[in-house]
């Protein structure tokens, strides 16, 4: 972060600065990738099927949220490196404890006479021995308390939000002294202008765009930054959680419906310019479209980020399956290439989400005379 | 789909919504509003500066135009003045000429008149002199006649010959 901050201050043109930051991220991701550290010694000992199973497990675990911030595991000694996060449960009253109580799922946590076990990253209510009951499909049938834990994703969201807040507050504060952005603002102001001039105004129109700017800017910056953290070697995967994208899409959905004007609703329930039978057929389709639009937003972001993580991790995993320098070199190159593609995807998905959100807002506030 | 639903975490949804809204309101107050306002203000001031520069440029051009127009006017006026002066000069000269001619004519007429008067005067004087002469001749004649007849006629003839009119 310090090198980044130093970079922000140098008075380069924004394009070269952006390139530099992209480069830094790639370098960062390549040097500190945990898999390179982790599998160095396991590779010789384990056979290839073991490695395959392990890689698959790793990827699946990575995609899921976790109750502690796991960085890496030393297989030879069995020690995990990382830090625990607070677990908050609602189960006849608030129960709070640190996730270190689970000892990475190996022990049962006891709070006020209630016992909880961590199984496949979900918390279940158990007895003192941690007995889990399964149904015929091997699903756990134990009761699940409402889990409001500060998980790895929640923790990441908090950290990224704080970083975003201070970065953009610096931009806002910079204008108190001068009309030109200073320091970090030189890099951030083009982002704000980009959202305003390329996303908000073209899709919503000069007349109404202003009241949506705060939401659009926050969504754009949040998704972009959180996507970028997913490309760091910390193994964070926030936008690859359906709950996160659902929350974002839901907000877009609510704002769209709340700002919907007469023309918008008329287009849904009584499509102008078509015969009456068509109007009746179109109404349910249009109504379905109202739901499908934010649903597509949700799935698009989730799927893109998840897929990116799966592909990148699989490629890194392939480096350890092939015991051949030529193949490894090829896969290293491919991983590097895909890392760069993922950087683009991180931005692109933030852009698409914001752009479509603005487009839906534009539909909602559209007035009849603008439609001609 | 089933996997997605089973993966859905209510807690994560709750925190994401809550944290996002907090971030949204904080950023709105401390970042977006000041930034957008400053950017708008700056854009407006740039626009105004450009406009006023354009206006100044036009004003300058207008001034230049009026300057050259003024110059042209002055030049025209000078030309006009010169023309007028020339015309006046010619007029004066012409007037002087005619006046001189008139004067000369007057002088000539006066001189002729004088000559006429002098001539008549001279003729009158001559007439008196002729009368005087006649009287003297008559006197002489009379005196001669009274003495000698022949001589009288000879005297008359002589006298008449003597008379020289001039």
pLDDT tens string, chain A, 372 residues long: the values are 344 444 444 444 455 555 565 556 555 555 555 444 444 444 444 466 788 888 888 888 888 888 888 887 777 777 788 888 888 888 877 888 888 888 777 778 888 778 888 877 788 888 877 778 887 777 788 888 888 889 999 999 999 999 999 999 999 998 888 888 888 888 999 999 999 999 999 999 998 999 999 999 999 999 999 999 999 888 888 999 999 999 999 999 999 999 988 888 888 888 888 888 888 888 899 999 999 999 999 999 999 999 999 999 888 888 888 878 888 888 899 999 999 999 999 999 999 999 999 999 999 998 765 444
ipTM of the complex: 0.81
* A168:B35 CB<8 A: yes
- Does the pLDDT of residue B57 top 50, yes or no? yes
Do the Cβ atoms of A241 and B12 come within 8 Å? yes
Report A:300-329 residues touching B (Cβ under 8 A).
none
Of A84, A133, A82, A141, whose CA–CA distance to A109 is shortest? A84
CA neighbor of B152 nearest in space, from B133, B134, B139: B139
Closest Cβ opposite residue A171 in set B24, B26, B31: B31
Contact A180 B13 (CB under 8 A): no
Instruction: Report the helix count and the strand count for chain B, using DSSP H and E.
Output: 4, 0
Phi, psi of A104 (to 5 degrees): 55, 40
Task: Please give the torsion angle defined by the CA atoms of residues A122, A126, A130 and A131, in that order, rounded to the nearest 10 degrees.
Answer: -100
Answer whether A215 sits within 8 Å of B10, measured CB to CB: no
**CA A103 – CA A149 distance, rounded (Å):** 16
Take residue A189 and report the two structure tokens written for it: 């102001």
């Amino acid at each position: 972060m310090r090198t980044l901050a130093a970079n922000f201050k140098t008075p380069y043109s924004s394009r070269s600065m952006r390139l530099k930051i992209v480069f830094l991220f790639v370098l960062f991701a390549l040097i500190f990738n945990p898999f390179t550290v982790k599998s160095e010694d396991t590779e010789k000992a384990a056979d290839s099927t073991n490695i395959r199973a392990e890689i698959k497990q790793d990827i699946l675990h990575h995609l899921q949220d976790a109750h502690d911030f796991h960085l890496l595991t030393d297989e030879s000694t069995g020690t995990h490196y990382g830090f625990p996060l607070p677990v908050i449960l609602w189960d006849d009253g608030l129960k709070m404890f640190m996730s270190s109580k689970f000892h990475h799922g190996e022990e049962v946590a006891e709070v006020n006479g209630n016992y909880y076990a961590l199984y496949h990253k979900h918390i279940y209510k158990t007895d003192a021995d941690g007995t889990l009951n399964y149904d015929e499909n091997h699903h756990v049938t134990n009761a699940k308390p409402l889990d409001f834990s500060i998980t790895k994703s929640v923790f990441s969201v908090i950290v990224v939000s704080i970083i975003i807040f201070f970065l953009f507050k610096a931009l806002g504060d910079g204008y108190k002294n001068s009309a030109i952005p200073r320091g970090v603002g030189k890099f951030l102001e083009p982002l704000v202008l980009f959202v305003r001039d390329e996303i908000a105004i073209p899709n919503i129109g000069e007349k109404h765009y202003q009241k949506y700017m705060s939401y659009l800017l926050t969504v754009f910056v949040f998704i972009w930054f959180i996507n970028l953290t997913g490309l760091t070697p910390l193994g964070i995967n926030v936008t690859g959680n359906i709950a996160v994208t659902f929350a974002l899409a839901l907000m877009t959905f609510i704002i769209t419906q709340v700002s919907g004007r007469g023309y918008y609703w008329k287009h849904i329930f009584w499509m102008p310019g078509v015969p009456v039978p068509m109007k009746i057929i179109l109404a349910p389709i249009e109504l379905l479209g109202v739901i499908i639009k934010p649903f597509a937003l949700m799935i698009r972001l989730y799927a893109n980020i998840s897929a990116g993580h799966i592909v990148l991790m699989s490629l890194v995993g392939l480096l350890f399956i092939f015991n051949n320098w030529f193949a490894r070199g090829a896969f290293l190159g491919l991983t590097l290439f895909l890392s760069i593609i993922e950087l683009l995807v991180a931005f692109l998905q933030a852009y698409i989400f914001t752009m479509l959100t603005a487009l839906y807002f534009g539909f909602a506030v559209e007035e009849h005379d603008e439609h001609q | 789909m089933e996997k997605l639903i089973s993966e859905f975490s209510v807690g994560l949804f709750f925190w994401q919504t809550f944290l996002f809204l907090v971030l949204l309101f904080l950023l709105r107050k401390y970042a977006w509003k000041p930034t957008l306002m400053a950017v708008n203000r700056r854009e407006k001031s740039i626009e105004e500066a450009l406009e006023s520069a354009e206006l100044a440029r036009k004003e300058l051009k207008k001034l230049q135009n009026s300057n050259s127009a003024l110059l042209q006017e002055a030049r025209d006026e000078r030309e006009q003045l010169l023309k007028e002066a020339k015309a006046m000069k010619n007029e004066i000269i012409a007037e002087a000429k005619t006046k001189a001619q008139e004067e000369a004519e007057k002088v000539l007429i006066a001189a002729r008149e004088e000559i006429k008067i002098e001539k008549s005067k001279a003729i009158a004087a001559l007439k008196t002199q002729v009368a005087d002469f006649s009287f003297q001749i008559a006197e002489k004649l009379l005196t001669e006649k009274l003495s000698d007849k022949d001589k009288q006629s000879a005297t008359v003839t002589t006298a008449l010959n003597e008379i020289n009119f001039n």
